[in-house]
Amino acid sequence: MFCRNCGAVNDDNAFKCIQCGQVLQGTTAGPTEPVPNHLVPAILVTVFCCLPFGIVAIVYAASVNGKVQAGDYAGAVAASRNAAMWSWISFGVGLVVSIGWGLMSFLGAAASQM
Ligand SMILES: [Zn+2]
């Protein structure tokens, strides 16, 4: 197989790349629990709530699976936590903004009636 990191040719059942040490078979080493990537909530909050923070959440969420495949389990868990955190931040900001916006338009409509 080819190393994803440096492109060196390795033995098919090699655990690590002979050239750069990149772990080639993430599934055979370390914890194998799936890491939730939180991609769906990240996309939902981006669409419905708050675009800038949602994009941060999507970037973290999208990096989770890649890190798992690269054998970087700790990095995947960290990215997963960040994705969840930014999804909640985006959700909270979106909620506050939409309540504020609703209040403003309500007051604006009320003011224009007078
Ligand atoms: Zn390599």
Q: Ligand 1 centre from 6 Cα, in Å?
A: 4
Number of domains in the chain: 2
Which pLDDT band, with edges at 50, 70 and 90, does 41 fall under?
confident
Separation of first and last alpha carbons in the chain = 75
Q: Ligand 1 centre from 45 Cα, in Å?
A: 37
Q: Residues 5-28: what's their mean pLDDT?
A: 82
Same domain, yes or no, for 18 and 49? no
**Spatial CB neighbours of 54, under 8 Å, sequence gap ≥ 6:** 42, 43, 45, 46, 47, 86, 87, 90
Q: Is the pLDDT of residue 30 over 60?
A: no
Q: Is the pLDDT of residue 8 over 80?
A: yes
Same domain, yes or no, for 9 and 37? no
Same domain, yes or no, for 9 and 49? no
User: Could you report the per-residue pLDDT of 42-95, keeping only the tens digit for each?
Assistant: 888 788 776 788 899 999 999 999 998 898 989 999 999 999 999 998 888 888
For the entire predicted model, the pTM comes to 0.57
Q: Ligand 1 centre from 100 Cα, in Å?
A: 52
**Domain ranges, residue 7:** 1-30
Q: Ligand 1 centre from 30 Cα, in Å?
A: 19
Same domain, yes or no, for 48 and 83? yes
Q: Would you state the pLDDT for residue 6? A: 92
